[in-house]
Amino acid sequence: MTRVLKTGLVLALVFGVVWLAVIIWWQESHTLPTGMDIGLYLFALPLALIAAGWAGKRIVQARREARANPAPAAANGDGQAAPAAPLTARLVVLASTARAALGNDPAAIHAAVAEQQRPALDASLMNAKGFPIFSARAAHLDTELLRDAAAGQQAPQAAQAEDIIRATALLGEVVQALSQEARAHVLDTGTPERDDAWPLLQLELLLPAQWPETARDHALGQALAAAVWPATRLGMRPHAAQDALASDSLLRQLAQEPLTPATATLRVVAAADSYIDANRVQDWEEQGTLAGNATPQGRIPGEAAAGLLLDLALSAPDAAAPTVPPAPPAGALALTLSQTAQRATRADARGAQNEPMLAALATEFLERQAQPADGIAALVSDADHRGSRPLEAAGLASALFPALDPNLDCLAVGAACGYTGAASHLLTLAIASEACAQTDGPVLAVLTQDPAQRAFTLIARAPSLSA
């Protein structure tokens, strides 16, 4: 009986408050309400508030019950063990690099992002009305020169599309830089006397899945030719990037990959993508996904390539491994990848807002790594201007890292570099790695480009041989 009275009082209170507020509003605005207004404001509105409150209460209760009553382990006699918790993916990075509109190395891009530079108007890319659009174009690339070179190499026609040929060039630059880093790493321990004395180096290359097969094959061949490494000791494995987290999935796969004497422990993981193309701009405008006056939440075309040089032999050892791997060299970084979580509402949905799930995931992740939140030196996200993404990163910073300077320590790579598709994840990790090197403290990378999935990567100094 008490519960019924309490519920009745709450309902009466909600209706009373709403009615009082609406009637005062009508009096102050001298509004003569219609029958529709009376039904909407005096009945539908309080009922909607009551339903929302009831739903919120149910969600909170469900979360409390799940936290208080974890799934029980299987009994000894059941013959089935409880599923083991997924292992945290850890990797050691020897070097990273990136190319984007803001610069040709992570340091330059990091500085430009910290200065809050934004994409500029592009005189070469026009909308249907003939006005230039905003884009993040890599200024050092000349499309016509690239096409002339491709024609001389008898590249297929599909590989000469503006966006594809530019991404191919960026990928070659990244592979060349990282293979040179791998070469320097080997030469630090001595000079191999013969080509077959060099260690194996494997290229793990991600290109957009929507590219034509002939264009992907040409880009992969160009990247392989750009590697500064003995050809007999160089391998390559292509990957079709289906979404923004394709490289994140690949890193998790590499972290769990079993090592054998025939395994290439040195890996170059690189991705490239470009949307600097008049045909792509036209398609986006027709689909309503191009940023403009009528579509402020549309994409801004960008382009980038980025990559990491990994040494799988230095990653965290398996619990069953008989030996402990050697300590990483000076300057190496440790990447720790969080588990992924799903948003309740997709980030691109109309009215999507920041969700507390992101802060909860970050808190649990940092606690598992014994990393105090106040020890994080910077927050680097792949967020751009679209949907709830900037609100997610800003809300996370204010909730968990209030000591960080929102302008200098909380960086949004996508807001400065535009939409970079398959390259956005590795580009964010490269800039976060640069922030870690500059601050000499742990950095948290926040991945928000996927409409629903969310994840983090913790970048920190790896214990080195000189430590």
162 plus 292 within the same structural domain: yes
407 plus 341 within the same structural domain: yes
pLDDT exceeds cutoff 50 at 466: no
243 plus 385 within the same structural domain: no
pLDDT at res. 81? 38
116 plus 223 within the same structural domain: yes
* Single residue among 279, 314, 349 that ends a domain in this structure: 314
pLDDT at res. 67? 43
366 plus 302 within the same structural domain: no
188 plus 283 within the same structural domain: yes
Q: How confident is the model at residue 464 (pLDDT cuts 50, 70, 90)?
A: low
308 plus 383 within the same structural domain: no
290 plus 379 within the same structural domain: no
Indicate the SS3 state at residue 99: strand
132 occurs within a structural domain = yes
Number of compact structural domains in the chain: 2
Q: How confident is the model at residue 390 (pLDDT cuts 50, 70, 90)?
A: confident
pLDDT exceeds cutoff 60 at 64: no
388 occurs within a structural domain = yes
Mean pLDDT of 15-19: 79
pLDDT exceeds cutoff 80 at 429: yes
Q: Per residue in 107-140, pLDDT tens?
A: 999 999 999 999 999 989 999 989 999 999 999 9
* Single residue among 314, 349, 365 that ends a domain in this structure: 314
Range of the domain at 155: 89-314
Helices first, then strands: H and E counts in the chain: 13, 13
Residue entry with tokens 């997610």: 392
pLDDT at res. 347? 67
Mean pLDDT of 434-445: 96
What does the block give as tokens for 370?
A: 């014994």
117 occurs within a structural domain = yes
Q: Per residue in 212-260, pLDDT tens?
A: 999 999 999 999 999 999 999 999 999 999 988 999 999 999 999 888 8
If one compares 65 and 311, the residue with the highest pLDDT of the two is 311
Indicate the average pLDDT of the chain.
85
280 occurs within a structural domain = yes
345 plus 434 within the same structural domain: yes
375 plus 227 within the same structural domain: no
Q: How confident is the model at residue 9 (pLDDT cuts 50, 70, 90)?
A: confident
If one compares 246 and 12, the residue with the highest pLDDT of the two is 246
Partners of 234 in beta bridges: 201
Integer Cα distance of 212 and 318 in angstroms: 39
pLDDT at res. 286? 92
pLDDT at res. 59? 53
- Per the CB < 8 A criterion, the answer to whether 431 and 98 are in contact is yes
- 377 to each of 95, 151, 436, how far by Cα in Å? 20, 48, 8
* Single residue among 263, 279, 314 that ends a domain in this structure: 314
- Per the CB < 8 A criterion, the answer to whether 138 and 269 are in contact is no
What does the block give as tokens for 133?
A: 């659009």
- Per the CB < 8 A criterion, the answer to whether 335 and 457 are in contact is yes
- Per the CB < 8 A criterion, the answer to whether 105 and 97 are in contact is yes
Q: How confident is the model at residue 287 (pLDDT cuts 50, 70, 90)?
A: very high
The 10 Å Cβ neighbour count of residue 452 is 14
Query: What is the CATH classification number for the domain harbouring 236?
Result: 3.40.47.10
- Per the CB < 8 A criterion, the answer to whether 363 and 373 are in contact is yes
48 occurs within a structural domain = no
134 plus 238 within the same structural domain: yes
55 occurs within a structural domain = no
Integer Cα distance of 374 and 202 in angstroms: 38
pLDDT exceeds cutoff 60 at 319: no
pLDDT at res. 54? 66
386 occurs within a structural domain = yes
pLDDT exceeds cutoff 90 at 8: no
pLDDT exceeds cutoff 50 at 421: yes
If one compares 352 and 398, the residue with the highest pLDDT of the two is 398
385 occurs within a structural domain = yes
By DSSP bridging, strand 303-311 and strand 234-241 are unpaired
Q: Terminus-to-terminus CA distance in the chain, angstroms?
A: 69
147 plus 223 within the same structural domain: yes
Mean pLDDT of 149-177: 95
Integer Cα distance of 459 and 435 in angstroms: 9
